[in-house]
Amino acid sequence: MNQDQSIKVALNKQTDITKRQNRIRLNTSVESVRYLLHQGLAFRGNDESEESKNKGNFRELVQTLANQNEDVRNVVLKNAPENCKWVSPDIQKELANYFAKIRLNSILEEIGGDVFSLLIDEASDVSDKEQMDVVLRYVDKLGLILERLVGIVHVKETSATCLKSALEKLLVDIGLSFKQVRGQCYDGAIGASCKRKDMIRETNRENVKRGISSGRISTGTGLNQDQSLQRAGDTRWGSHYRTLSSLIQLFPSIVKKFDDRFNEVNSSLLIHMASFNPKNSFAAFNPESLLKLAEFYPQDFHSSKLMDLGHELRIYIENVRADKRFANLDGIADLAKKLVDTKKHLAFPVYQLLKLVLIFPVATASVERCFSAMNTVKCVLRNKMGDKFMSDCLICYVEKDIFSTITNDAVIDMFKKMSDREGKL
């Protein structure tokens, strides 16, 4: 081996060592981000200087991993080159974003370009920012009904125009289209927004002021403060009367909500959907009702396809009634899964109509759970958390089943592709 060859071998060896060290360093940062996302914990501390006794969860976790492994200890933090320590706040947010992107990509794969419904709610976070929570309801390739969080969007106002614009942008950013939407469910969150609360409080204050001025309300320490409804007293019949009056007002309000949520069209849809019920050997099956149901979805069933559907429904019902595997199904969710398991969903395009039934949005319980998670991820101590970072953290924190399947290698590969790096990997 001549001198040039020896130099080349030595350089290649050093390059391999550098790549390995960089990989260990980045993997340590990725693992630290993974843990904090999974637990919904804060990343940064108030003082991250070298002299600090507590540099925040991320840096302290990196240090803990270094203490447990000599290979890690030799390449991270103070032992890392200045240009590729990969522990800065920007890097932390970038890695969190890659976890969220990979998770969203897995949702796109589950949807497979098919239709879905939107479940949307709006509430204020701990910093009094209006946040719109967007969940997709769809049927995956296995015939399972899924509801997945795809983003939290900060909206400056809660007008229909603003919400629609924010929603369209979110779908485009994810890689979805409004043309795929077959249903939308909006909870009454706007009525409980921070702006509405402020209006209620202000109205209450004005009523108290007028009551004091007229002598109807007494003044004193602890009186006339902003407060919630109190429990009715045992002997104060006036408070009982007011509570009864409030309940009467609440009841018409509930009735109105049901009327708003289940109007004539929605009620018709629900009635027609019942014809898919597989119980008692598909006793509820009604082809005329299902044809009427299909007419509500002209994007999926145009006139000629409706004619084919009528013939197909007769073949479908004869086939499933004769198949013992369909004998003891509990509901339409089980029916969809069984059709996929038996590959009958490929033989009967009626499966498309069944999917439209399954994604019909009725409740927003999944969205409410996401808002509960928001209170964990963005707590009082993290009230300055950025909107994008919060959304990425929530996407990972809420959907732990998908998040847990994301490998460090997948995140590192995305890290390498997204921009030029100082250190080779």
pLDDT tens digits, one per residue of 180-227:
999 888 765 474 445 544 455 456 666 666 766 776 666 654 444 444
- The domain limits of the chain are 115-192+364-398, 198-230, 264-358
Sheet with 116-124, strands from edge to edge, namely: 145-154, 130-139, 116-124, 181-186
Please give the average per-residue pLDDT across 113-138, as a whole number. Answer: 85
d(CA 252, CA 247) in angstroms, rounded, equals 9
Sign of CA dihedral 92, 95, 101, 107: negative
Which ranges of 138-236 does DSSP label H, i.e. alpha helix?
Answer: 160-174, 194-214
pLDDT for residue 83: 84
**Secondary structure (3-state) at 26:** helix
Do the beta carbons of residue 340 and residue 142 sit within 8 Å?
yes
Nearest to 313 by CA among 351, 283, 343: 351
d(CA 119, CA 367) in angstroms, rounded, equals 7
Residue 40, pLDDT > 50, answer: yes
pLDDT for residue 197: 47
Determine the distance from the C-alpha atom of residue 158 to the mean position of all C-alpha atoms in its chain, rounded to a whole number.
19
pLDDT for residue 246: 59
* CATH architecture of the domain with range 115-192+364-398: 2-Layer Sandwich (3.30)
d(CA 277, CA 335) in angstroms, rounded, equals 8
pLDDT for residue 191: 43
> If you average pLDDT over every residue of the chain, what do you get?
81
Please give the average per-residue pLDDT across 332-352, as a whole number. Answer: 94
Banded pLDDT at 354 (limits 50, 70, 90): very high
Do the beta carbons of residue 193 and residue 128 sit within 8 Å?
no
Q: What pTM did the predictor assign?
A: 0.76
pLDDT for residue 321: 95
pLDDT for residue 59: 94
Of the listed ranges 157-171, 269-283, 301-315, the one predicted with least confidence: 157-171
d(CA 333, CA 318) in angstroms, rounded, equals 20
More reliable by pLDDT, 370 or 318? 318
| CA distance readout (Å), 44 to 47, 128, 360, 396 | 8, 22, 41, 18
